[in-house]
Structure 1
Amino acid sequence: MQYHALSLSKHGYNVTFVGFLDSKPHGDVLRQERIQIVPITEVKGFQVGPKLFTYVSKVLLQCLQLLRVLLQMDTQSHILMQNPPGLPGIAVAWLVCVLRGSSFIIDWHNYGFTIMALSLGHKHPVVRLAKWYEHFFGPLSDQNLCVTEAMKEDLRQNWGVRATTLYDRPASVFRETPVKQQHQLFMRLKETHPQFRDNSSDVETEKEERTVFSVRDITDDTVTLRADRPALLISSTSWTEDEDFSILLKALEDYEGFIKGGAALPSLVCVITGKGPQKQHYLKLIDSLHLDHVQICTPWLEAEDYPVLLGSADLGVCLHMSSSGLDLPMKVVDMFGCCLPVCAIGFNCLNELVKHEENGLIFKDSQELAEQLKCLLSEFPGSGGKLGLYRLNLRSSRGQRWDDNWDQHVLPLLSAK
């Protein structure tokens, strides 16, 4: 949604950006004079009585809060919202559009009821209500965007909604990171994360500035990547039910076993970024592991640092399993923008993004992921082998970036009111 806001502002629209301010928006959003940020607070509902009462009260309070915010703003020509979360946003936004004559656009990234079903089950009354809600209010929109051809067809057949497929594309900030910029990031990260520190005994602090991955010669300011560096593995997550990180942790244990069994493989530093409801659960699992050749850290990065880290990594892992089987993980889009090959857990329409044995690999379980890590890193840090081939393929097949893709598919909808 930050990309949408920036694209709208570049085309002369004044944008009011409404949302939870849980994390700092990207600097480009903050600097854009045409974008006004209106934060809304998380509503907890009444913490008495049964859980259903708490949930219903939360939704009603959110309705009132969002309705007040939208009606206090100047009249908008368009209201663009992302679904999920759609409860209660879809109904409230539709009502405001009716009252004010605005055009209502939904950007369908998934279905909210399928995400709820991960924890409650498809037969739960709340899930059934959420499904009815989305099916009733979703088709009331004036225009629709979606993220896959599979979702476009599902919306048409089962929802009566005609949508334009807007594949997520990486912004221009997602690119391979120059070595000097990599070193600068590693130096900042090593201040808080020991996994980035060089603990060898021959550190020449007067002449060299070192991390576990890089060395800067202070005399001439040249930076090189170390030949003995570990491989940098990255996985980003929102720590929710549709990402089972025990798969990755078990694969890392198996990878450790390969090394202890005599396999000529590099050590690993695995960086898992993000925050969410299950993070503490997985942090406990990580703390229980006893690994000598694999180190794991879970930093929370500023928006400007995240693409730099992706562009510095050697391999990405995606555990997004898709509650509906119809959406695609934006994290992989960003990784591909950095020409970073990916191992991704498979689901129905993933092949619209990840081409197996072309720009990455698709796996079904932890054992298969461990074997893929072993295969791809067998020639590290050399540029040969499958890992090098996939990176070359990504470099040669770079498609549209976000701006061109948005101009082609979204801009015409704004003039179709």
Structure 2
Amino acid sequence: MAFPWLLLWEVSLTVAVTASTLVTIIILTLPSAFSHFKPHEVTEADFTDDDTEDAERSGFAYYQQHENEAGTLEIDATVQVVVLGDIGRSPRMQYHALSIANNGGKVDLIGYVDPSVDINPDVKAHRLINIVPIPVFPFQATSRLSFLFLAPLKVAFQFQALYHALGYRTKACKWMLVQNPPSIPTLMVAQLICFLRNTKLVIDWHNFGYSILALRLGPEHLLVRISRWYEGYFAKSATAHFAVTNAMCRVLKEKWNIDALPLHDRPANHLRPLTENERIAFLKTRPELEGQPFNLDDRSWRLIVSSTSWTPDEDFSILLDALVRYATIRKREKSLPRIWAVITGKGPLQAYYKSKIQQYVQEGNLNDTIISTAWLSTTDYARLLGSADLGISLHTSSSGVDLPMKVVDMFGTGLPVAGWGQFEAWSELVKEGENGRGFGSGDELCGILQQLFGQEDGGRQLSRLRDGALRESERRWEDEWGPVAGQLFQLRNDER
């Protein structure tokens, strides 16, 4: 009978010694703390000759306007902008970084850096933004079993990588702005570093981490329930919160008694409407149209664009089903234009759907239809949206209260949208019949394509939606950010 007690003692002793060692290491290597009496200093030496030539973009113009007699720009508003994901695929966090820097704050932008994914060139050019890459966990789960095995190892790897980046590779900052999700281990590390470094934590809620995990494991799985508790527990003590929708603010209040400020996504300045000549000029550069009998002037075809991360919360089969049905109907109704569909983005399900598309093509189910996938630069992506006739959003929302930023991008170029509209927050962004249309199935999407592209009143309907999208394009990120985040960070600069 002594054996179980002996084993329990040895395990307990091992855990105690390990915990004590970790606490000792943390205490002996505590990171520096932020001091309100030591502002960050920027001098002319921090700018290159190229920076001085492109003064607005690099921040040199701001430096010249605000330097003191000693030639130093003193910055008290320093911010760590943190995303435990790829920076290039996190446009909202890049917009945050640019807005902070453009209004006189110093930014450390911390996240993954994928060489194949473009970071916004304005972010890379700005000298008040320091990009701090963190290493990526080297293994990928290929099944539910491997996910459960690798998940703890991934969390441990991310914990140390993020802790090291926030605590030792960057100076102590006044604020830390963290994207959520992912929640694990981001919120725990952020809270620990903010406690040790005298930093104020702000959480930017894009969605709920536990609801995304539920897509893989199911809503009642033990890990999902733990994730829900963890997310609420480590979020409550943050200094402030932003949320992408009013509906998310309401849920945060009801679920965890968290008061969040609504900060809706708005398009950045590089997303703008194009003239007809600019649209045609761009489309003539696309290799997908080589050899195709498309008349770019009379638009005997229609271009639809969908941006996707190829993940389970975007059911791409809905668009495929709609295009197959549309192609079948067009065999009878020749007045319907042909369709060219471009799907941009990268993700885990891309190979599966590309093989499915190829199967439909071989079976003759997509006659007179071009479906192409692409990964574009920031500039070309904006031009593609500005050249399209209709944007498609397949985002289904794991929580029901987030919104797809791709729709905001589309509106920024004056592009009307058809999207999956069967969730609560959809109406906060898309006004039915004014700037877009919602659908709940492939059949409904096919019907929308027929209505908007058909000769009977289709042109007038599409034109009305485009007018609404153009009105929406006038509402820009900086207009939304200044009164909310700018005021919180005490950065809004009305002189500029």
Whole-angstrom CA distance in 1 between matches of 2:109 and 2:258: 25
Whole-angstrom CA distance in 2 between matches of 1:66 and 1:265: 53
Q: What is residue 233 of structure 1 aligned with on the other side?
A: 304
Give me the CA root mean square deviation: 2.0
Whole-angstrom CA distance in 1 between matches of 2:398 and 2:101: 33
- Could you say if the C-alpha distance between residues 32 and 257 of structure 1 is closer, same or farther in structure 2, counting changes exceeding 3 Å? same
Give the aligned residue type for 2:189. V
Within a 5 Å distance, the mapping from 1:79-98 to structure 2 comes to 79-98=176-195
User: CA deviation digits over 1:179-223, x for unaligned, max 9?
Assistant: 444344334431xxxx322445xxxxxxxxxxx464xxxxxxxxx
The alpha-carbon deviation at position 227 of structure 1 amounts to: 1.0
Whole-angstrom CA distance in 1 between matches of 2:235 and 2:97: 22
Q: Secondary structure at the match of 2:236?
A: helix
- Could you say if the C-alpha distance between residues 83 and 391 of structure 1 is closer, same or farther in structure 2, counting changes exceeding 3 Å? same
Structure number with higher helix proportion? 2
* Among 322, 325, 335, the residue aligned to 1:251: 322
Contact 1:240 1:277 in 2 (8 A): yes
**2:124 aligned with 1:30, yes or no?**
yes
The alpha-carbon deviation at position 133 of structure 1 amounts to: 1.1
* Among 354, 358, 376, the residue aligned to 2:452: 376
Q: What is residue 98 of structure 2 aligned with on the other side?
A: 6
**2:135 aligned with 1:41, yes or no?**
yes
The percentage of counterpart residues that share the same residue type is 40
The alpha-carbon deviation at position 276 of structure 1 amounts to: 0.6
Q: Secondary structure at the match of 1:271?
A: strand
Whole-angstrom CA distance in 2 between matches of 1:362 and 1:228: 24
* Among 408, 411, 431, the residue aligned to 1:355: 431
Contact 1:45 1:57 in 2 (8 A): no
User: CA deviation digits over 1:296-315, x for unaligned, max 9?
Assistant: 00000011211111011000
- Could you say if the C-alpha distance between residues 213 and 279 of structure 1 is closer, same or farther in structure 2, counting changes exceeding 3 Å? farther
Give the aligned residue type for 1:312. S
The alpha-carbon deviation at position 81 of structure 1 amounts to: 1.0
Contact 1:97 1:104 in 2 (8 A): yes
* Among 208, 213, 227, the residue aligned to 1:111: 208
The alpha-carbon deviation at position 264 of structure 1 amounts to: 1.3
Whole-angstrom CA distance in 1 between matches of 2:405 and 2:146: 36
Whole-angstrom CA distance in 1 between matches of 2:278 and 2:221: 50
- Could you say if the C-alpha distance between residues 28 and 50 of structure 1 is closer, same or farther in structure 2, counting changes exceeding 3 Å? closer
Contact 1:176 1:338 in 2 (8 A): yes
The alpha-carbon deviation at position 177 of structure 1 amounts to: 1.8
Give the aligned residue type for 1:33. R
- Could you say if the C-alpha distance between residues 36 and 153 of structure 1 is closer, same or farther in structure 2, counting changes exceeding 3 Å? same
Contact 2:412 2:472 in 1 (8 A): no
Give the aligned residue type for 1:112. G
Whole-angstrom CA distance in 2 between matches of 1:15 and 1:109: 20
Whole-angstrom CA distance in 1 between matches of 2:298 and 2:474: 32
TM-score, normalized by length of structure 2?
0.75
Whole-angstrom CA distance in 2 between matches of 1:409 and 1:46: 38
- Could you say if the C-alpha distance between residues 28 and 368 of structure 1 is closer, same or farther in structure 2, counting changes exceeding 3 Å? same
Whole-angstrom CA distance in 2 between matches of 1:286 and 1:383: 27
What are the ranges of 5 or more consecutive residues in structure 1 without an aligned counterpart? 201-211, 215-225
Whole-angstrom CA distance in 1 between matches of 2:479 and 2:384: 25
* Among 162, 165, 172, the residue aligned to 1:66: 162
* Among 285, 289, 293, the residue aligned to 1:196: 289
- Could you say if the C-alpha distance between residues 46 and 312 of structure 1 is closer, same or farther in structure 2, counting changes exceeding 3 Å? closer
**2:371 aligned with 1:277, yes or no?**
no
The alpha-carbon deviation at position 395 of structure 1 amounts to: 2.5
Q: What is residue 218 of structure 1 aligned with on the other side?
A: none
Q: What is residue 182 of structure 1 aligned with on the other side?
A: 279
User: CA deviation digits over 1:288-346, x for unaligned, max 9?
Assistant: 11311211000000112111110110001111010000101111111111111111111
Contact 2:414 2:472 in 1 (8 A): no
- Could you say if the C-alpha distance between residues 268 and 132 of structure 1 is closer, same or farther in structure 2, counting changes exceeding 3 Å? same
The alpha-carbon deviation at position 263 of structure 1 amounts to: 4.5
Q: What is residue 223 of structure 2 aligned with on the other side?
A: 126
Q: Secondary structure at the match of 2:268?
A: coil
**2:418 aligned with 1:321, yes or no?**
no
User: CA deviation digits over 1:353-374, x for unaligned, max 9?
Assistant: 1111111111110001100100
Contact 1:46 1:58 in 2 (8 A): no
- Could you say if the C-alpha distance between residues 166 and 46 of structure 1 is closer, same or farther in structure 2, counting changes exceeding 3 Å? closer
Whole-angstrom CA distance in 2 between matches of 1:349 and 1:405: 18
The alpha-carbon deviation at position 396 of structure 1 amounts to: 3.6
Whole-angstrom CA distance in 2 between matches of 1:232 and 1:404: 30
Q: Secondary structure at the match of 2:286?
A: helix
**2:198 aligned with 1:101, yes or no?**
yes
Whole-angstrom CA distance in 2 between matches of 1:309 and 1:181: 11
Whole-angstrom CA distance in 1 between matches of 2:466 and 2:292: 30
The alpha-carbon deviation at position 57 of structure 1 amounts to: 1.3
The alpha-carbon deviation at position 287 of structure 1 amounts to: 0.7
The alpha-carbon deviation at position 229 of structure 1 amounts to: 4.0
- Could you say if the C-alpha distance between residues 51 and 232 of structure 1 is closer, same or farther in structure 2, counting changes exceeding 3 Å? closer
Give the aligned residue type for 2:164. R
